[in-house]
């Protein structure tokens, strides 16, 4: 027999839609850009430094862990970069460098790598990192104190902290349009509500996040805050104020959607999002923390495996009517 070509042999299918983890992560980072760029514009080069350091250190931690655990270095999929970017967006511009490096260590190594790396994390890694930092050095995340040296031409108060300490009269200090355009104190990536919504809508349209979670989360916020608000308007702020303050929008479009810690079935996604929104407002209104987004997200991450068990009957299983 004559000389033969060697052909590639593999299992079907021989087509792929061309998507990859790298493309997905690049899209998430691109979607986070409007909010991040605004934060850099608002808080200056310090913010740029924080974002760069957190992305770089997150990638470095992953590479180091891969080396230590003798696994191929996978930082080119930008998974760690996304974690670093989310971390940076949730940090104030004045966060010290060591806190960034510690925080990304907690996010990447404790939050993800020890669970087996990408896809194995039960919680959103960036949220784990920030939460532990808040518990350990809460002064860093006291936005009023942290951003004391900045001069702004708007009310220089962190809205949720002001609400907690001074009551609902402060709500009038923050016109909604102004809040949405980023005129508030907060972390680098969370102040520019319109930018986060644009990024979130982009990801939804591209199909990189599950819109059901974002919608349910926001609905959960609105409904719960509205119920509080109508029972005692003098004590509880209105729902729209809650939407555009703190980490709410970041949570709805970037944090609660982190794929491996969120459900994939339709009904669970709605339950997951709604509980997230509900708990956020519950912690804000009744709890002792000004913002409850991060803890609410960690809590729904914990619920995820349980509620994701609610799923449709598979083809041919169960009653005859179930077969479409």
Q: Which residues bind another protein (CB under 8 A)?
A: 1, 4-21, 24, 77, 116-120, 204-208, 210-211, 259-262, 264-265, 311-317, 320, 323-324
> Taking the C-alpha atoms of 130, 263, 28 and 289 in order, what is their torsion angle to the nearest 10 degrees?
-30
- Closer CB to another protein, residue 16 or residue 151? 16
Q: In this structure, what are the phi and psi dihedrals at residue 273, rounded to the nearest 5 degrees?
A: -65, -45
- Closer CB to another protein, residue 131 or residue 262? 262
- Closer CB to another protein, residue 164 or residue 206? 206
Buried (b) or exposed (e) across 201-227, using 16+ Cβ within 10 A? ebbbeeebbbbbbbbbbbbbbbebbbe
CB of residue 44 to another protein, shortest distance in Å: 35
- Closer CB to another protein, residue 77 or residue 142? 77
Q: How far apart (Å, rounded) are the C-alpha atoms in residues 92 and 187?
A: 4
Q: At what angle do helices 79-90 and 45-68 cross, to 10 degrees?
A: 140
Helical ranges in 91-147 per DSSP H? 97-105, 125-136, 143-146
- Closer CB to another protein, residue 268 or residue 290? 268
Helical ranges in 248-321 per DSSP H? 248-250, 266-285, 293-307
Task: Kindly tell me the sign of the dihedral angle through the C-alpha atoms of 277, 283, 284, 290.
Answer: negative
CB of residue 20 to another protein, shortest distance in Å: 6
CB of residue 255 to another protein, shortest distance in Å: 15
Q: Which residues contact 285 (CB under 8 A, 6 or more apart)?
A: 225, 228, 236
CB of residue 37 to another protein, shortest distance in Å: 23
Task: Kindly tell me the sign of the dihedral angle through the C-alpha atoms of 246, 247, 248, 249.
Answer: positive
CB of residue 16 to another protein, shortest distance in Å: 3
* Backbone angle region of 167, left / alpha / beta, with phi > 0 → left and psi within -120 to 50 → alpha: left
CB of residue 14 to another protein, shortest distance in Å: 5
- Closer CB to another protein, residue 116 or residue 175? 116
CB of residue 207 to another protein, shortest distance in Å: 2
- Closer CB to another protein, residue 4 or residue 234? 4
């Amino acid at each position: 027999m004559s000389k033969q070509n060697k052909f590639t042999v593999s299992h079907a299918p021989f087509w792929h839609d061309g998507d990859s983890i790298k493309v997905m992560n690049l899209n998430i980072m691109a979607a986070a850009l409007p909010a991040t760029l605004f934060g850099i514009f608002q808080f200056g080069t310090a913010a740029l430094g924080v974002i760069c350091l957190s992305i770089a250190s997150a990638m470095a931690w992953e590479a180091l862990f891969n080396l230590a655990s003798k696994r191929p270095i996978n930082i080119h999929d930008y998974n760690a970069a996304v974690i670093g970017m989310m971390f940076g967006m949730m940090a104030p511009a004045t966060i010290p460098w060591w806190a960034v490096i510690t925080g990304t260590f907690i996010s990447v190594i404790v939050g993800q790598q020890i669970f087996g790396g990408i896809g194995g994390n039960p919680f959103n890694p960036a949220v784990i990192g920030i939460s532990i930092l808040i518990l350990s050095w809460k002064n860093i995340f006291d936005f009023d104190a942290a951003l004391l040296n900045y001069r702004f031409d708007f009310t220089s108060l962190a809205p949720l902290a002001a609400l907690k300490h001074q009551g609902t009269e402060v709500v009038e200090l923050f016109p909604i349009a102004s809040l949405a355009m980023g005129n508030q104190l907060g972390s680098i990536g969370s102040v520019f509500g319109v930018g986060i919504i644009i990024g979130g809508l982009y990801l939804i349209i591209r199909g990189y996040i599950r819109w059901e979670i974002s919608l349910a989360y926001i609905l959960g916020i609105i409904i719960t805050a509205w119920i509080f608000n109508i029972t005692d308007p003098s004590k509880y702020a209105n729902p729209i104020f809650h939407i555009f303050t703190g980490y709410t929008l970041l949570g709805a479009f970037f944090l609660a959607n982190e794929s491996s810690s969120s459900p994939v079935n339709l009904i669970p996604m709605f339950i997951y999002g709604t509980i997230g929104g509900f708990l956020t407002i519950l912690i804000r209104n009744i709890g002792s923390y000004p913002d409850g987004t991060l803890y609410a997200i960690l809590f729904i991450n914990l619920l995820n495996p349980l509620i994701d068990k609610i799923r449709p009957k598979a083809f041919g299983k169960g009653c005859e009517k179930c077969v479409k």
